[in-house]
Amino acid sequence: MTARGLWRSVRDDLGRHWRHVGAGALGIAVSIAALVFFLALGLGVRTVLLGEVFPVDRIEVFPRSTDLNLLALKLELGKDTIDDAMVGKLEAIDGVAAVYPKMRLLAPALATGGESLIGTGMQTELVADGIDPALVADDVGAAFHDPLVDRSVIGLACGENSTCPGGAICVGASVFGPGECREAIPVIVSEHMVELYNGAFRRAYRLPKVNPQALIGLGIDVSFGASSLRPSGRRVARDRVVLAGFSDAAIPLGITMPLGFVRRLNRELGPDGAGDGYHSAVVESASRNAVAGIVTASEHLGLEVRDGGARRASFFMTVALAAVSLIGIVILAVSALHVMHVFALLVMIRRREIGVMRAVGASRADVRLLLMTEAAVVGFAAGLCGLIGAAVLVRAADRALTSGLPDFPFKPESFFAFDPWLAAAALTLAVASCVLGALAPSLRATGPDPAEVLSST
Amino acid sequence: MIRINGLCKRYPGSEVDVLKGIDLEIAAGDFVSLVGRSGCGKTTLLNIVGGLDFDFEGRVEVDGRDIGSLADRDLARYRRDTVGFVFQAYHLLDHLSCAENVALAARFGAGGGSGAKRERARAEEVLESVGLAGAADRRPTRLSGGERQRVAVARALFNRPRLLLLDEPTGNLDTATGGEILDLLSTLHSEMALTILAATHDGAIEAVGRRLLRISDGRLAERLEDVR
């Protein structure tokens, strides 16, 4: 069959039978619209969950430990730190792009300040973590760095009432002797903390709402080694921390400092050996596909991934997407059955026409090609209509969700991921379902010989 | 041109052979009339020779090709390039114009995909040759029975076949119109040197044919050679 002949026949036939094929196409279009809408929603939510809430290209591994329950308490057994050798082993795992060790501050800390921002001073116990500044370089840039590395301000003596150059602070000055000029400690916090403050905390204490960006540069005084809960009996080191920025890699509740500084504080103020080991490590994978292998290899090294949220989110999203896909496929299969009935009807209506075509020189393959091409065109058109419908629905729903829902942590700019591959896959699916639906009728159409067909019509 | 040996045909579910060992030879350029009572097997014989019915026993050769052994694609090409078939019921497609009906075979490769303009020109040429100049864009539903049969003849002639098979070509026509069709066929036979095999009840066609074959009870019971 010639390409021109095929096109003319397809055009003529679909034009003639548009009511019948339209009925079949409608089901396919609705199925595709529903499938694409829910998949785009699922993929969009999945992107937020796994990309921002639980970024799966970065997993945090911890030393595997066993706790023994003793009434209300737990007796911690086993090692609870990772040493440099283990970090080296982690870096050697296939698919690992980088390893960023983390260390908890093992000394109490008491923060004081806040007058300049909210008009009243506050004092609070502080939880702190130390991370490699490279881990958050993309989020906060060079502002987050270890202040002890900047030698230009270290070593300058300062008194209680003297100032240090370049915004540095005087640490350790007293009536007994001079102190040392040092840059304030840059810290980062999670945006979740600001959301928590602006949500429940400020309402409970009748405090003003704050703009997160205005907080950058805010300084508070911290007494490391001090505690309002009980006297530590340790030496107290007074210092000043300055907010350098926000990052999802920061500890959810507390401040996150440069790793080197926390190590020094642990060595000076913490228990013996506190600055020698890391408490966890963030392992960055080269690709998301490598994550599963990295988790397995880490577990073989005696480590564990405690990020249950990511696992649950990933599992939930996978199940949800599979369920949505399954429902969509079932609807599509039902629509394909409908297409099959439509084409069976068309074949019956066009029985004589098919007989005439074969009598003048069409082979069985020509007739099948014609019917399958018609089905493919119907599928493509239906898929296209479904995609357009889905795009309109997605836009309307996205607008309603983003503007209608109140702000919440990790609220995305768009709830949908309408990727080109999704559109291409949906179109392919629409065409395939129509072609499959038309397969049996087209085979039946070419079964009998032309003489039998024409003698019976 | 046509050589048939031991042709037998039995329809599925039937216990009777419609054709019982037909042996026949038709030379190129012959005009053969096939007569016999209804149901005697005339149409069946035409369908088999025309490649429309390929479930039979025996050997049917056209231009040296064994029709029964051809694959579907080759059989389709044979129907497209070698044979022109005119049905008693015309079997025109009402949604197509006369020209489109005539050039239908071109959609499946007849004429080697010669292009829309050449197809149209050829369709108009054959329509003119059957006396329907100017009817190219009309729908078959707007034509009389005789005109429809002329369009059917034009469709059969579109690809310059060597063998023209006619199944009761005047069966649905009144005597006058049937006479016109008969004149047309006679002219075509003499001008185009076609081999024609016509199944008919029409005594006029019997008279026009150079050979007259009678089928009775599935057999070629009688041969009247060179009746003219």
pLDDT tens-digit map of B109-154: 766 556 778 888 888 988 888 888 888 899 999 888 888 888 998 8
Give yes or no: residues A14 and A85 share one domain. Answer: no
Residue A417 DSSP SS3:
coil
User: What's the pLDDT tens digit per position in A205-240?
Assistant: 888 888 888 888 888 888 888 888 776 677 788 888
Give pLDDT, residue B227.
47
Which structural domain range is residue A385 located in?
A: 3-54+314-455
Give the pLDDT confidence of A242-298 residue by residue, as tens digits: 888 998 888 888 999 999 889 988 888 888 888 888 999 999 988 766 777 787 788
Question: Cβ contacts of residue A443 below 8 Å, gap of 6+?
Answer: A368
C-alpha to C-alpha distance for A408 and A192, rounded to whole angstroms: 9
Find, in chain B, the residue whose alpha carbon is nearest to that of A354.
B93
Instruction: Mark whether A47 and A193 lie in a shared domain.
Output: no
- Rg of chain A over Cα atoms, rounded to whole angstroms, equals 33
Chain A partners within 8 Å of B73 (Cβ) = 363, 365
Rounded Cα distance between A450 and B7, Å, is 19
Structure tokens at B14: 């039937």
Domain-terminating residue out of A262, A279, A306: A306
Please enumerate in sequence order all residues whose Cβ is within 8 A of that of A178, keeping only pairs 6 or more positions apart, or say none: A157, A158, A159
Per-residue model confidence (pLDDT) at position B224: 55
Say if residue A355 is in the same domain as residue A299.
no
Rounded to two decimals, the ipTM of the complex is: 0.89
Domains and CATH numbers, chain B: 1-82+161-228 (3.40.50.300), 89-160 (no CATH)
The answer to whether residues A86 and A21 belong to one domain is no
Residues A153 and A284 in one domain: yes
- Beta-carbon separation of A16 and B95 below 8 A: yes
Residue A364 near chain B (CB below 8 Å):
yes
Tokens of A429: 């699916």
Domain termination site, one of A242, A276, A306: A306
- Mean pLDDT value across chain B: 84
- Joined together, the tokens standing for residue B214 give 């009678």
Inter-chain touch A1–B52, beta carbons under 8 Å: no
Question: Same domain for A195 and A223?
Answer: yes
Q: Which tokens go with B84?
A: 């022109």
Question: A217 and A257 share a domain?
Answer: yes
Q: What's the structural domain count of chain A?
A: 2
Q: Which of A306, A325, A356 is the last residue of a domain?
A: A306
Q: Does the CB of A9 have a partner CB in chain B at under 8 Å?
A: yes
- The reply to whether A29 and A74 lie within a common domain is no
In this structure, are A181 and A264 located in the same domain?
yes
Of A5, A358, A449, the CB nearest to B106: A5
Q: Are residues A448 and A416 in the same domain?
A: yes
Q: Do A221 and A323 belong to one domain? A: no
Q: Report, as an integer, the average pLDDT of B166-175.
A: 78
Q: What is the reported pLDDT for B207?
A: 67
For residue B65, what are the β-bridge partners? B62
Q: Of B53, B87, B104, which is closest to A357 when you measure between CB atoms?
A: B104
Task: Identify whether residues A12 and A82 lie together within a single domain.
Answer: no
Q: Are A143 and A244 in contact (CB under 8 A)?
A: yes
**Is the per-residue pLDDT at B18 higher than 50?**
yes
What DSSP letter does each residue of B119-182 carry, written as one string?
HHHHHHHHHHHTT-TT-TTS-GGGS-HHHHHHHHHHHHHTT--SEEEEESTTTTS-HHHHHHHH
